[in-house]
Amino acid sequence: MSFSANDIKELREQTGAGMMECKRALTESGGDFQKAVDLLRKKGLAAAAKKAGRITSEGIVALNVSGSAGVLLEVNSETDFVAKNEEFQKYALEVAGLVAERNPADIESLLSMQLGNITVEARRQELIQKIGENISLRRFVRFETNGRIASYLHGTRIGVLVELEGGDEQLGKDTAMQVAASNPLYLSRETVPSEDLDRERAIFEAQVKESGKPAAVVGKIVEGKLEKFFGEACLMEQVFIKDPDGKLKVKDILKGASIRRFARFQVGEGLEKRKENFAEEVASQLK
């Protein structure tokens, strides 16, 4: 599998490793991007995996909670200026309401649905013509429950839904804010897929061996690293953000209630930010 200069650049931006280290990692992995990330992490050359989700494009997360249904919808634009446009935001909120009401199977189905007297796609095209920027509906998630749906919006860039069984409004608010602030990847240690756990264990073992620690202590150190991983990646194991002493975990505040699932959208996760060269743009217009 081959790779390009852009692959090296993307790997460098995602991991924070040097250019030559990224090139070597891609060479060793046969051009497999994820394997290259793992190689850099094993060698201690990559930054924390959290960087993979940094904000790289503009737009908003729209939230709609109606009765037993809750929806998060990400709508992207080219610039932050358009993301603040009232018509753009109104469109996003109306489409989120449509998702809550009609429960489309996917984005393609959503685009074909009626929004007033035209389709969602036709309205999108109208906005593109009027605003002068590309606009896209990237993703949505919809929860429907006989329990409780909690939600939280941090501005318009981070949105959270949490489905709970039991508990009260305050617990829902606290857990939703926890998800927004701490960005867990899994609900609990029991829900971490075995392949993810095996992958992390292999990376930790390689890191410890690379550090030159005695073989007798490798297992203990790896288990300690896994516990830290659970504490950061699993919602139930995270330290509760409102506990000033840092002793309470999220699972300790539930008091008989349970969290069934959660979703967190952050604008632009995994997307490359648009790069602008204004000198080139002006030159092209002058031509």
Band of residue 285 on the pLDDT scale cut at 50, 70, 90:
very low
Mean pLDDT along residues 41-51: 61
Which residues, 6+ apart, have CB-to-CB distance to 63 below 8 Å? Answer: 70, 71, 72, 73, 96, 151, 153, 159, 161
At 144 the three-state DSSP class reads strand
In a 13 Å sphere around the CA of 154, the CA atoms on its Cβ side amount to 16
Ordered by start, the domain boundaries in the chain are 1-53, 55-144
pLDDT at 217: 83
pLDDT tens, 193-237?
A: 999 999 999 999 898 888 888 878 888 999 999 999 999 999 999
Mean pLDDT along residues 24-38: 89
pLDDT at 53: 41
Band of residue 287 on the pLDDT scale cut at 50, 70, 90:
very low
Percent of the chain with pLDDT over 90: 62
pLDDT tens, 48-79?
A: 444 444 333 799 999 999 889 999 999 999 88
What is the C-alpha end-to-end distance of the chain, expressed in Å?
41
User: The domain 55-144: what is its CATH number?
Assistant: 3.30.479.20
Band of residue 274 on the pLDDT scale cut at 50, 70, 90:
low
pLDDT at 277 over 90: no
User: Lowest mean pLDDT: which of 9-13, 82-86, 221-225?
Assistant: 9-13
User: The domain 1-53: what is its CATH number?
Assistant: 1.10.8.10
pLDDT at 1 over 70: no
pLDDT at 176 over 60: yes
Within this chain, domains 1-53 and 55-144 share the same CATH topology: no
At 34 the three-state DSSP class reads helix
Beta bridge partners of 74: 61, 139
Mean pLDDT along residues 35-43: 85
Cα dihedral across residues 171, 172, 178, 181: positive or negative: negative
* φ and ψ at residue 135, rounded to 5 degrees: -130, 135
- Cβ proximity of 55 and 154 under 8 Å: no
Question: Which residue type does 272 have?
Answer: E
pLDDT at 275 over 60: no
- Cβ proximity of 77 and 88 under 8 Å: yes
At 169 the three-state DSSP class reads helix
Chain mean pLDDT for the chain: 87
